[in-house]
A and B are shown apart, each in its own frame.
Chain A
Amino acid sequence: MQSIAVRRSGLTSRDRRNLVTGLLFVSPWIIGFLLFTVFPLFYSLYISLTRYDLIRDPVFIGAANYTELFFEDAQFWKVVYNTIYYVLISVPLSLAFSFLVANLLNTRVVGRSFFRAVMYIPAIVPGICAAMVWLFLLNIQYGAINGFLQSIGMPAIPFLSSPELTKPSLIMIAVWATGNAVVVFLAGLQDVPRSLYEAAVVDGANGWQQFRNVTIPMSTPVILFNLVIGFIGAFQEFTSAYLIFGTGGGPLNSALLYSPFLYQNAFQFLRMGKASALAWLLFIVVVIGTMILFRTSARWVYYGGER
């Protein structure tokens, strides 16, 4: 019966049937989107306007959580500073490093897949295992790095106990775990048409000029991708900072990043309202930051390649 109807009324009926079938297939996502994204998003906004400790009912307090963060909580600005410091250094550093390594691996290299695997593995091992070994490596008394330094007569470096060095230590670990970007860059580099390099050589371009005028422009879409992913990820960094420095955030809160701070407010102080306000502020910053990246990308990303 259905097929007859399709034949008679042609496209519109078929369209309608496709619409129903299509919606049926994506319905798990639609339900999940409403339950686990849309609803929590607005619920979170509401909670951020209340005082709520999970035990007593939420009390509506207007913007008090936000004004407390902005004007009364000195720790908040410390956390914002730490997080911006972390994002602004770790993201460009990881990006530049992984791009250079990918370029190195894109030359004729014996054992390329071995080197690629070595760079990639830190990105896929459990964060807690990585954090445990770094905690141990960087320890001032019996960590391997300070052990070697002391044995050659150098002073120990207080990676985890000096407020100046805690954030650089986290950044070092982030660079170590940046293998995803290396793999994505390398795949992107392999998609650059060889004819472009050949044309550049015919025009007398040397290695640096080829890199500057072929490799970099052709890689800009992938650079943008890794930049956005890295930016969003760095703002949300939790596991290494939380496990190495705890919710206290190391000496003088110097390594207290945004996500552990939010976690601490929610699940240690049971301040669900304040935690939700923090979450919304983060959400706004990430959305605006990502939009800025995409907007400015029109000026430097080159989409004239194969695709």
Chain B
Amino acid sequence: MTAVDKAQSIPAPATKRRSRRSARQQAVEVLKYAVLIVLAATWIFPFYWMFSSALKDDPQVYTIPPVLIPNPAHWNNFADAWAKNDFNLFAINTIFRYAVPATLLTVISSGLVAYGFSRIKWPGRDVLFYVCLITIMLPWQVTMVPLFITFKNLGWINSYLPLVVPNAFGSAFFIFMMRQFFLTIPEELSDAARIDGASEFGILVRIILPLAVPALAVVALFRFLGAWNDFLGPLIYLNDESMYPLALGINRLRANISATGTNELAYPYLMAVSTIVVTPILVLFFLAQRTFIEGISVTGIKG
């Protein structure tokens, strides 16, 4: 919270001699905003292009110079692209088979583990936490093949189990995030509860978690996002189209284009579906901007 508050309240050092604003300083200001606006426009353009292309028909897609504002705009592309390619099913798969269970399991397990790594003192704790931190660096490629073989032997291929079950065992990155937050809660609160005879689990549930709601929100947000965005995991484990999440649905749409050549409305449909899949992320971001920025800042600064 402090980082964001500071962002708004602390004036930057460069503008201190505000009273003696020379023409040169004004020129610098103009240049600064010019740079920022050009950057922002460049950064937004791919999203604008995604959205505006979704509204086009085929001639509008292939026109040179490119059509910036399609007229007429084909708003029905969104509904058509979505419905004709089973995206309702893919959305249900993504949310209910993957994102929601993975998020719930991650929040519960990482909360428990983070509590053990921060609110109880026991010999060997910090060494083990250090080991936990190091695993963040482990490339996923190293465990990809053996885990695939193991899950295959368990008969878990073509199900969401390989993507969901590991979340029940905590994830190093989220354990780290929550631990950092738990450490900021005064120890006296726990001590008082201990004197009253509360168990550690009782302290976690009744005292720590209610205070740690922002941290839980950060973890939940990032885990949900990770599942929503995941492409490689489903690509490896899911074969049956009825099991596809959104990412594989988009990939299938794209593959159809490459296979059959550009069939009718291929690009507008691809862009329409992409736009719809991006939109909840944008909405989530603007609703929870503070949570996002804090979560990211905490990992980098307080690390």
Contacts and interface: CB of A to CB of B under 8 A. Distances in A.
User: Are A and B bound to each other?
Assistant: yes
Interface string B262-303: 000001001100110110011001100100110011011101
A262 B141 contact: yes
B13 interface: yes
Given A23-B122, A117-B285, A236-B139, A127 B65 contact: no
A142 B289 CA distance: 35
Contacts of B274: 128-129, 132-133
Interface string A109-131: 10011111111111011111110
Contacts of B172: 29
Given A29-B169, A187-B3, A104 B36 contact: yes
A24 B297 CA distance: 30
Nearest to B14: A107
A81 interface: no
B247 interface: yes
B65 to A, nearest CB: 3
A133 B50 contact: yes
Nearest to B132: A29
A192 B107 CA distance: 32
Nearest to B109: A28
Given A124-B281, A126-B277, A239 B231 contact: yes
A132 B301 contact: no
B289 A113 contact: yes
Given A26-B128, A133-B49, A235 B139 contact: yes
A71 B169 CA distance: 41
Nearest to B140: A236
A186 B246 CA distance: 33
B153 to A, nearest CB: 10
Interface string A142-161: 10100110110000000000
Contacts of A287: 137
B148 interface: yes
Contacts of A36: 143, 147, 166, 169
Given A24-B116, A184-B299, A132 B121 contact: no
A31 B3 contact: no
A29 B169 CA distance: 5
B13 A201 contact: yes
A132 B250 contact: yes
A127 B205 CA distance: 36
A104 B35 contact: yes
Contacts of A33: 131-132, 135, 169
Interface in B27-76: 32-33, 35-36, 39-40, 43-44, 46-47, 49-50, 53, 61-66
A144 B49 CA distance: 8
Contacts of A35: 169
B229 interface: yes
Given A133-B49, A176-B46, A180-B296, A126 B13 contact: no
A22 B120 contact: yes
Nearest to A235: B139
A191 interface: yes
Contacts of A56: none
A22 B121 CA distance: 7
A131 B10 CA distance: 38
B206 interface: no
Nearest to B274: A129
Nearest to A192: B13
Nearest to A280: B142
Question: Which of the four size classes fits the interface of chain B?
Answer: 35 or more
A47 B303 contact: no
A226 B299 CA distance: 11
B288 to A, nearest CB: 11
B301 to A, nearest CB: 5
Interface in A228-286: 232, 235-236, 238-239, 243, 259, 262-263, 266-267, 272, 275-276, 278-280, 282-283, 286
Interface in B1-31: 3, 6-7, 10-16
B154 to A, nearest CB: 12
Contacts of A266: 144-145, 148
Nearest to A134: B46
Given A40-B142, A236-B141, A282-B139, A147 B66 contact: yes
A134 B10 CA distance: 37
B137 A232 contact: yes
A15 B49 contact: no
A105 B32 CA distance: 9
Given A23-B122, A126-B228, A129-B50, A29 B113 contact: yes
B159 to A, nearest CB: 17
Interface of A: 15, 18-19, 21-26, 28-33, 35-37, 39-41, 43-44, 47, 54, 101, 104-109, 112-122, 124-130, 132-137, 141-142, 144, 147-148, 150-151, 176, 180, 183-184, 186-188, 190-191, 194, 197-198, 201, 207, 210, 222, 225-226, 232, 235-236, 238-239, 243, 259, 262-263, 266-267, 272, 275-276, 278-280, 282-283, 286-287, 290
